[in-house]
Structure 1
């Protein structure tokens, strides 16, 4: 009997062959990896002196911020931070 790669009835013939794809690099399941990565990201941000702020804005304002950030070639976060700094500087004067 010939060995055929698409033949599922002779799967025992292929058990020693390596399957294509990305090799497993972590012993943890994906949900645990995500939790670990997020914890590490929070630690990195804290060491950089960053603090997380979350708020809700209207969709139209969000789109305007997105367009302005793309025009200035900065991230939306960097744009909001610069706008806040600028606003606070004018209020302090």
Structure 2
């Protein structure tokens, strides 16, 4: 059997070939992987009926929300969504 350089299934044949570092797990660069993952996440969110909202909070509010979310065992995002939902419900009942 001839040794083909593209055949990496028989490592003993390639013992002289030194490859440094961790083997590549993806053909894409890190930047491309991040872009692809972000696009996939946005697609999953859209399919789940989620919309992205960005807000700026004072550090104290942010820290309080973090503590409360950790106490409840939920993410800060879930906590803020619950608070907004409750507030909207109260405003609509009026």
When normalised by structure 1's length, the TM-score is 0.78
- Give 1:58's aligned residue: 58
Offset, 1:19: 4.0
When normalised by structure 2's length, the TM-score is 0.77
- Give 2:36's aligned residue: 36
**Number of corresponding residues:** 79
- Give 1:17's aligned residue: 18
Secondary structure of the equivalent of 2:84?
helix
Offset, 1:63: 0.2
Distance in 1 (CA, whole Å) between partners of 2:92 and 2:29 is: 50
5+ residue gaps, structure 2: 1-14
5+ residue gaps, structure 1: 1-13
- Give 1:86's aligned residue: 86
Q: Which runs of 4+ in 1 moved over 6 A?
A: none
Distance in 2 (CA, whole Å) between partners of 1:44 and 1:20 is: 33
Distance in 2 (CA, whole Å) between partners of 1:36 and 1:83 is: 32
Distance in 2 (CA, whole Å) between partners of 1:20 and 1:56 is: 41
Q: How much is the aligned-residue C-alpha RMSD, in angstroms?
A: 1.6
